[in-house]
Structure 1
Amino acid sequence: MPDLPADDTTTAILTYGTDVTGSLETYRDRDWYQIDVAPGAWVQVTQRGTGANPVSDSFLRVYDSEMNLLTADDELNASNSNLDAALLFDGGVGGTYYIEAASYRDRTTGDYVLNAQQVAAPRGSLADVLESGNQRSDRDISVYFVPEGDRANQGYRTSRDKQDDITSDGWTDYEMVRFIAAFDAIAAVTNVTFTITDNPNADYQLVLDDNELQNNGLLGYFYQPSSSRPSVGVFNAKGQGWSDESRGGLEKGGLGYATIVHELLHGLGLDHPHESASSVAGTHVAFEDLGANGYNQGIYTTMSYNGGYATTGHVGRFRHNEAGPMTLDIIALQDLYGANTTTARGDDSYVLFDDMAYWEAIWDAAGHDTIRYDGTADTTIDLRAADLAYGQGGAGHISSVDGFTGGYLIAYGVQIEGAVGGAGNDTLIASDADSRLEGNDGDDQLIGGTGDDTLIGGAGQDALFGGIGNDDLSGGAGDDSLTGNAGADRIAATAGQNEMHGGGGADVLTGGVDNDLIHGGSGDDMMTGGDGNDVLFGGRGRDIIDGGDGDDQITGGWGADTLTGGLGADSFVFHIASDSAAGRGQRDVITDFETGHDMIDLGLIATSAPDGLAFIGTRDFDGAGQLRLDQDGTDAVLQLDADGDGHADLEILLLNTTDLSASDLIL
């Protein structure tokens, strides 16, 4: 069979309920299939080895229509011998998705069979996926670092009672400092406090082992809260990612630091997302199984065994891991102990930077806040917070610099109002709040939300979409595309040949110094061309259009419009008779028509006249397709009888015009 491409040029199609067979002919071979998904629909795809030469370890990935990797999966069920794969995802806004059939780490070949099924949406909320049923009764937690040679105490009755038989090898000052950083990160999002004590009967008793666990894959463990005993945590000094040196695995982004946070959260009652009572839907095993929409991974919860942005595969022992409680951890902690509403109440700035090597969830209680990037690479800044539904974005949206594995997500209930891009080609996405997006240099895409947003493109060829709400759009220098969508928007261009669309609502659109294309859309719009030879379309509604300087082309569209050409040789275009209906209050008004200089273009209007339109001066109608002039003092009304019934079907009022002739008309 011919090899399938591993990109969106594939013509192979995966249909629901029908098995499709394929083959991985070589190592690192990957096959792509198209699948159409309806908006909001949920899909489960399975890959199984088949035939005499089956793929021995299947691996599935799914990409959206823009080639963004959505989720990946290596396991179909909890059987240790199972080497098939299954993944679960939803279609978001719908469209074509791409299923990638491969093998684990691209290291095996063989035949496979794919199957796709539409399934019911997962039940429940992502807020519940870390529930263990355990909770501390107190929120002021004392912490004891068990010194070298000692073991943790089980209870307060006698020091001879032991909860764990591991002897501590003692802690360095640096290691304790990194624990304090983790305590601070947890206390910043929920109402608990941690106090270091010399009391061996403390609530948290922390043991560091250097020689007894004998397994560097066992990074640590922590007992869940209990009403009868303290919580003991044991950490493996020989575990992967542990380092007692600065810039090592105990720094933000390191696996050792993520392990500290993970185990401390066990001590507060959080469970793993693959084995809690309400585990992430579609999750069967701990590792390489990311669950519905990939939510069983570190960028969403540090309680996952799939660290960092596991979907990408770019995770190391010292870099690219989560750096504190993530979005699902935060909501789980706040459900148990309440939200810390004193954190970050000012106007805070969260900075993305090149080579950012950790993931962080933003918990910000108040203020006017911004995520920004000041570099030259392309970046994505998404101000939408986690909504905790199982659909795409339910656990948060990623803000990161392209080419680097680190960035931010925004926790449930948080509003970040501003996004500032750098000099690259950036994508900035607003939240439901009133957002301010600034693209700066580069060819940027700015997408408004449901609030009253301000979008500033900056230099470069930018695309601005206002979304719902009353938005302000400014393209800046460059050839920009600006779309207001719904709401009463203010849209302005500066330099460059810009394309502007008002969309719904009463919009104000202002062109710049070059040749612009301006569409008012529906609503009573106010449009100004500015300098340059502009093309302006009013659309539906009673629009006020001023071409400004330059030789402009102005179309009022449906509704009684007021049209001003401004300086230059302008043309006023009418496509159908109803663009300027007959009668006062129905017809368009041209305020500054200059005979011998400006033109009225009626050539597109359909009539029943076999020979087209004809100008008959001031005499009465006597046939179809005739244009006549009704002079009223210094003003004139140009009338058209399209069907020959003797009545005007179109009228245009021309102010201060007394000498209109056929040479002023395009027929």
Structure 2
Amino acid sequence: MVAKRLIVASHGEAATFAASVGVSAAEGDIPGDATTSATISVGQTVVGELEVIGDSDWFRIDLTAGQTVSISLSGSGAGPVEDTYLRVRDGAGRLIAENDDGGTDLNSLMRLTADRTGTYYIEANSWNGQSIGEYTLSVSEAQPLELYSLDQIANQLTSGYWGGNERAFTQPIFYEFVGLSQGEERLALEAMQYWATVADIDFSPASSGSSPANLIFQNSEEGAFAQSSVQFGNGGIVSSTVNVSAAWYAQYGSTLGSYTFQTYLHEIGHALGLGHAGNYNGAASYANDATYLNDSWATTVMSYFDQSENTYFSQQGFNSVYVGTPMLADIVAIQNLYGAPSTRTGDDIYGFNSVGIDAVFNATLYPDIAYTIYDSGGHDTLDYSGFAADQVIDLRPEMYSSVGGNIGNVAIARGVILEDAIGGSGADQLIGNDVTNVLWGNGGDDVIDGGILADILWGGDGNDTLVGSAGNDTLRGEAGNDTIDGGASWDYLFGGPGNDTLTGGNGNDGLFGDAGDDTLDGGAGADLLRGGGGEDYLDAGAGNDVIKGEWASDTLLGGDGDDIILAGDGLDTVIAGSGNDLVYGEAGRDTIYGADGDDRLYGASEDDLLVGGDGDDELFGGAGDDRIAGRAGNDLLTGGAGNDLFVFGDYGAGNVDTITDFQEGDKIGLDRSLLFGTIDKLGSLDLGAFRYGTQALDADDRILYQSSTGKLFYDADGNGALAPVLFAQITPGTALSAQSFEAFGNAAPPPFASGAEPLSGADPLFA
């Protein structure tokens, strides 16, 4: 046993001491196995030395299950280890993690999460044991990984991996195939083509003499790799070689959807100047070697980690699927080096029914593949109509779509605008972008959001949810029980068949329920609401609206504003709301309430109930035996044809209603609660309670009629002590008697017309 001098720093403070370690006197070194007594703790830094070629030092460390630490190994001192190599072993000495160049330059850096509580061993070594010199080993509590932006990832690809220096071809690229089979050549050509569609790069075949090859493809060596000759100083790539072995091609497939094709994309990325997504090479794991959360194939083909190994994406449901194009960060990176191209400027369709574009985007040929779309112009469509799985189709750049049963497998590159999207037969979610979109849900219970600007949304079959958001949108639910929200601006909403819910939101909207029992809410703005077939509920909300119930028995609410309401066919209920409203009951026996404002209510041909409410209203019963009540305000009441009942329940100054056409068969209804004991058991007015003139002579005289003026008064006490109250005006000279009146209160009176409902004390007229 000998004493070996170690330098240990804890929490940033350096200390020098002699530590007794288990090494043999002959070797004079820390053992490279589990017999070591050298230790390191979390928060410490140790300086050691590899004395001879092949030397390795083991340090024991105790960790707790679930604890995550960061381990770095770097060359240091006057004679540093040139290329460090870091390994971690479990308590039995079995290798569980390793790292070569995860740190800066050729230094090592890794994260480790302990899967159990106990002893682990950290091995300080060099690449292939070929270097000697001093090293610094540090262990610290790992900080949570950061979510990188695409620009941060692109910077890692173009310069971070290369130690801060970019590299790229500065002259035309001429390629040559050496020994490749026809199938291998096809994959290499396709991979070059996909890089050329996302960057301003031209690949041309080499020819002897005028254009010698500076990009060589070979299959003669094992594995897959790329290497480049780079000019010192300016980073210009002189030449690159891509090797994908014949065995690799045989093992990993020969199609565009294969891992072999992804390998060609990856290695050509290196040949063009891109490094790895992290400082790893040869082998790596997400748990140990990732330095940011979204290091994955989902963001870059230059990553080592598929979508499911990366826990950031796997926790969002992403599944592992091979990559068929440069991905989001790759496109940013390669355009930083070479500039942007003009690619696909026509009206292109991606997915099903695609014609004349790259095969990887054809969902019939390659339904299970990940790709990023780069498109320079035209009116373009994502068509995933052939898939039955539930999908997310997102037209926003730099967002992920989930199509064909995969999660997160399609993305749209930065700055790319695609206009339209078509869903499949599953329950899809379609999301629009910042331009005018046409979004088709097709079958299934879809959720469709148009985003800003004027969009057209089609729900298709199923119970769909359509949201227009901003912009002047057209939303069509079509079949199924749909929920449709126009959002801001001026929208048109069509429910289609089914029991739909339509909400106009802000703006001057048009809401059309069509068939089914629909609910329409106009919201703010001057809206047009049409219920269509079925028993609909229409609420116009604020604004000067036009409402039409159309067929069946509907409920129509005018809300605020000066509204025009047409009840349509059926037994409709109308509440005009505040504002000066115009209401037509149209066909069917309707119940119409004017509510606030100076309203005009028309009953049409059936036995209707018209109630004016507050304000100076005009009520027209039309044909049929109607019940007409002006309520508060000085109202104008016209019964029209039929035996009509004019109802008075509010007495007092400033509340005098005028009956324009009282005729034989009509009745005047009086609120019983104001007439005390003058009611017989049938509810008609007692003969003694009615008197011609303007002065009550005895206690029975309650209703006074001045024929010469047509004025009707109510006397509260019947003896003239209290001045009679004028409550109605009819045509002067009209003949009246006690039988011209009906009194209503707690007991229900008889019907006023055959087949009509009796007016009871619980009737809302007297509420």
Question: What's the TM-score once normalised by structure 1's chain length?
Answer: 0.64
Among 240, 254, 261, the alignment partner of 2:258 is: 254
- For 1:232, the equivalent position in structure 2 comes to 240
- For 1:505, the equivalent position in structure 2 comes to 507
**Aligned counterparts, 1:455-466, within 5 A:** 455-466=457-468
The answer to whether structure 1 residue 418 and structure 2 residue 420 are counterparts is yes
Contact 1:353-1:374 within 8 A present in 2 as well: no
In the TM superposition, what whole-angstrom CA distance separates every residue of 1:235-277 from its partner, at most 9, and x where no partner exists? 24277xx2148xx43422322222211221222222333249x
| TM-aligned CA deviation for residue 430 of structure 1 | 1.0
| TM-aligned CA deviation for residue 120 of structure 1 | 11
| TM-aligned CA deviation for residue 445 of structure 1 | 1.1
- For 1:9, the equivalent position in structure 2 comes to none
CA distance in 1, matches of 2:637, 2:474: 42
**Aligned with 2:188: secondary structure?**
helix
Among 181, 192, 216, the alignment partner of 1:183 is: 192
The answer to whether structure 1 residue 337 and structure 2 residue 369 are counterparts is no
- For 1:303, the equivalent position in structure 2 comes to 302
Question: Matched residues, percent identical?
Answer: 28
- For 1:165, the equivalent position in structure 2 comes to none
- Structure 1: which amino acid aligns with 2:196? A
The answer to whether structure 1 residue 136 and structure 2 residue 165 are counterparts is no
In the TM superposition, what whole-angstrom CA distance separates every residue of 1:501-520 from its partner, at most 9, and x where no partner exists? 11111111001111000111
Contact 1:327-1:409 within 8 A present in 2 as well: yes
Contact 1:627-1:640 within 8 A present in 2 as well: no
**Aligned counterparts, 1:357-436, within 5 A:** 357-375=368-386, 377-386=388-397, 395-402=398-405, 404=406, 407-436=409-438
Contact 1:172-1:244 within 8 A present in 2 as well: no
| TM-aligned CA deviation for residue 304 of structure 1 | 1.3
CA distance in 1, matches of 2:648, 2:382: 58
Q: CA RMSD in A?
A: 4.8
Aligned length: 498
- For 1:221, the equivalent position in structure 2 comes to 226
**Residues 307 and 201 (structure 1), Cα distance of their counterparts in 2 relative to 1, 3 Å cut:** farther
Indicate the larger mover: 333-342 or 491-500.
333-342
CA distance in 1, matches of 2:519, 2:494: 12
- For 1:270, the equivalent position in structure 2 comes to 274
**Aligned counterparts, 1:257-656, within 5 A:** 257-275=261-279, 294-308=293-307, 310-311=309-310, 320-351=321-352, 353=363, 356-375=367-386, 377-386=388-397, 395-402=398-405, 404=406, 407-573=409-575, 579-580=577-578, 586-592=579-585, 597-600=589-592, 627=632, 630-631=635-636
The answer to whether structure 1 residue 243 and structure 2 residue 236 are counterparts is no
CA distance in 2, matches of 1:224, 1:430: 45
- Structure 1: which amino acid aligns with 2:188? F
CA distance in 2, matches of 1:176, 1:121: 35
Contact 1:542-1:559 within 8 A present in 2 as well: yes
Contact 2:569-2:586 within 8 A present in 1 as well: no
**Aligned with 1:379: secondary structure?**
coil
- Structure 2: which amino acid aligns with 1:358? I
**Aligned counterparts, 1:654-665, within 5 A:** 663=759
Among 213, 216, 222, the alignment partner of 1:205 is: 216
Contact 1:383-1:417 within 8 A present in 2 as well: no
- For 2:10, the equivalent position in structure 1 comes to none
CA distance in 2, matches of 1:410, 1:428: 14
**Residues 298 and 124 (structure 1), Cα distance of their counterparts in 2 relative to 1, 3 Å cut:** closer
| TM-aligned CA deviation for residue 173 of structure 1 | 2.1
Question: What's the TM-score once normalised by structure 2's chain length?
Answer: 0.56
In the TM superposition, what whole-angstrom CA distance separates every residue of 1:422-447 from its partner, at most 9, and x where no partner exists? 22111111111111111111111111
CA distance in 2, matches of 1:197, 1:250: 24
CA distance in 2, matches of 1:383, 1:660: 66
- Structure 2: which amino acid aligns with 1:254? S
Using CA pairs below 8 Å that are at least 6 residues apart, which structure has the higher relative contact order?
1
Structure 2 unmatched runs, 5+: 1-60, 70-96, 119-140, 160-164, 353-361, 598-610, 618-629, 641-645, 670-758
- Structure 1: which amino acid aligns with 2:581? D
CA distance in 2, matches of 1:232, 1:124: 25
In the TM superposition, what whole-angstrom CA distance separates every residue of 1:136-193 from its partner, at most 9, and x where no partner exists? 3535311123x4xxxxxxxxxxxxxxxxxxxxxx322221111001111111122111
- For 1:172, the equivalent position in structure 2 comes to 181
- Higher Cα radius of gyration: 2
Structure 1 unmatched runs, 5+: 1-49, 59-73, 86-102, 148-169, 277-283, 387-394, 581-585, 606-612, 620-624
- For 1:609, the equivalent position in structure 2 comes to none
| TM-aligned CA deviation for residue 487 of structure 1 | 1.4
In the TM superposition, what whole-angstrom CA distance separates every residue of 1:462-517 from its partner, at most 9, and x where no partner exists? 11111111110001111111111111111001110001111111111001111000
CA distance in 2, matches of 1:129, 1:634: 84
| TM-aligned CA deviation for residue 340 of structure 1 | 1.7
